Structure 1
Amino acid sequence: MYRPEIKVIDCTVRDGGLMNKWQFDDAFVKQVYESVAAAGVDYMEIGYLSSESAFPRSEYGAWKFCAEPDLKRIIGKEPKKIKFAAMADIGRIDFNDIPPADQSSLDMVRVACYAHQVDAAVELAHHVMDKGYEATINLMAVSTVTGRELNEALDDLGKSRVPVIYVVDSFGNYYQEDIEHLVHLYQEHLPGKTIGLHMHNNQQLAFANTIAGIIANANYLDATLYGFGRGAGNCPLELLLSFLKNPKFRVRPLVEAIDKVVLPWYRKIEWGYSVPYMISGTLNQHPREAMAKMDADHRDSVLEFYDRVASQPV
């Protein structure tokens, strides 16, 4: 699938950091940076933009904040090799804590919100655009809202200046036909805007659903090395680049990063498909209970987990 307008965003550090509070050393982040740049990836989402007044550095690593001195350490003395993105959650970043783009190594701010937060998300996205950044809005957990709520949220987003709006399968609940429907729905409500995809792998469908979205003409694609991400993880970046067939992409640098720095983390904090994550995905539930199960001493007693969460009211 070769389409030159497609942009690929690596989310390894940002999404993977949800598993360890972004406690990555510089060697890990530098290896991801060098590898995804060498692979021809368009953006590296290097972490979150968060206010340090809300999150103590004693508990969270540098990539919860993406402060300029930390970014400069990763870039080094040579020119930056890839565009940097950071995610901002509504209510977790003070507008005044975001420097103008000409004072930052970040190129893009991705605003994450729920349907009821669209007005605040547009305000934040417009704020960062006015400061010189590219911007997206990632509309989360849409599998939990009614059709009317989603349509209203999309209509509000359609009135904004934000050029890229994301379909996010937060709970890994969707199938191919759902993604096709949502991409077409977003296109209907958001004429002139680009649609993005961020898929989770609870049902081992993150890659397949990303392909479905590509075929439906989504052009901003999120993925992570070896699927590194919270719980069941994400669409694997190495699979995605192999599928896209764009001659600018190279897979070997990604395999090098997986070999050197990602697999060692996998041996310490396991992510990816498992029965508890499958259960949370099929039941359209937040993965927090499945994550707690995977961290428990009795993690292998999956029948008990199924009976307990399946009996909870929807």
Structure 2
Amino acid sequence: MFKEEIKVIDCTVRDGGLMNKWQFSETFVKNVYNALADAGVDYMEIGYLSSKDAFDAKVYGPWKFCHEKDLKKVIGDKEKRIKLSAMADIGRIELEDIPLAADSSLDMIRIACYVHQVDKAIALAHHCQEKGYEVTINLMAVSTVGLRELNECLEDLNKSKVPVIYLVDSFGAFYSEDIDTLAQKYIERLPGKTIGAHFHNNQQLAFANTISAIINGVNYLDATLYGIGRGAGNCPLELLLSFLKNPKFKVRPVVKCIEEEIFPWSQKIDWGYSIPYMVTGTMNQHPRTAMALMESEDKDKVLDYYDSICNGGATS
């Protein structure tokens, strides 16, 4: 599956930070940075760009804000070894909080939005482009969107200057046939643009669905070390690099980093496949109720949770 145009984006710190409020140490982030560079990964998504008016810096770690001083601590005095990305959520970042690309170690800003926010996302993405950044728009929760609404959204995106649009399975609800249909729709309705894929692992399909996306012409691929991420987690980076068969990618540095940095975190925070996340995935629901259960003393009482969700006891 060697395709030169494929780019791999590691989201370990950004997506994994959803599980611990981005309280990763400088050493952890630096070791992930070096491992990804050694492995030949194209981009490291090192966190979020957020306004301090939206989040308390005493509660959230530095990777929720990605200030230049913190980025420099990771990069050091040497030349940057890998392109860096940060994500920005609509309504949680002010335009003045985004520095010029010439003054930042970030190369790319990815705008996360829902379909009803697409106009604001396009405006923010264009603003970031004007400041010199590469940009993407990551269209979330499309498993909950009607066909007409999605088509109208894609029409707006097609008219934009944003070069990369992401297909995102926010709830881990999609099967391979869904990816086949949606990837083809995105490619047809967004001619000339690159399509990306970000899939969650509620039904243990994040890797399989990423393969389906590749087969259908999707070229920007998200993954994380050992699948770390919110709830059920993401496509595991080590599986994706092994599959791609591109000689520029090296799997050993990733495995080493997983042993040294990710395994210790697996003793502190839970992520990955579990029955509660399976339930929300099959029911096409946000995993917030499953996350609450997994963080409680009753996390093994999965039958009560299953009955609650299947009998309409939770909302999406």
Category of TM-score, reference length = shorter chain: over 0.9
Question: Which amino acid in 2 is paired with 1:252?
Answer: R
1:64-97 deviations in whole A, cap 9, x for unaligned?
Answer: 0000000000000110000000000000000011
Instruction: List alignment gaps of at least 5 residues for structure 2.
Output: none
1:89-138 deviations in whole A, cap 9, x for unaligned?
Answer: 00000001101000000000000000000000000000000000000000
Q: Once superposed, what is the RMSD of the aligned Cα atoms? A: 0.7
Aligned-partner SS, 2:47: strand
Aligned-partner SS, 2:121: helix
Distance in 1, matches of 2:309 and 2:96, equals 42
Distance in 1, matches of 2:136 and 2:106, equals 14
Question: Which amino acid in 2 is paired with 1:306?
Answer: Y
Distance in 2, matches of 1:85 and 1:177, equals 30
| Counterpart in the other structure of 2:292 | 292
Distance in 2, matches of 1:148 and 1:253, equals 45
TM-score (norm 1): 0.99
Q: Which runs of 4+ in 1 moved over 3 A?
A: none
Distance in 2, matches of 1:310 and 1:22, equals 33
Instruction: List alignment gaps of at least 5 residues for structure 1.
Output: none
CA displacement at 1:183 relative to structure 2: 0.5
1:144-199 deviations in whole A, cap 9, x for unaligned?
Answer: 01001100000000000000000000000000000011000001110000000000
| Counterpart in the other structure of 1:272 | 272
| Counterpart in the other structure of 1:43 | 43
Distance in 1, matches of 2:54 and 2:207, equals 34
Q: Percent identity?
A: 68
CA displacement at 1:56 relative to structure 2: 1.2
Distance in 2, matches of 1:304 and 1:148, equals 37
| Counterpart in the other structure of 1:33 | 33
Distance in 2, matches of 1:178 and 1:266, equals 31
TM-score (norm 2): 0.99
Distance in 2, matches of 1:274 and 1:55, equals 30
| Counterpart in the other structure of 2:182 | 182
Counterpart mapping for 1:166-181 below 5 A: 166-181=166-181
Aligned-partner SS, 1:248: coil
The count of aligned residue pairs is: 314
Distance in 2, matches of 1:311 and 1:159, equals 43
| Counterpart in the other structure of 2:309 | 309
| Counterpart in the other structure of 1:162 | 162
CA displacement at 1:220 relative to structure 2: 0.1
Q: Does 1:116 align with 2:116?
A: yes
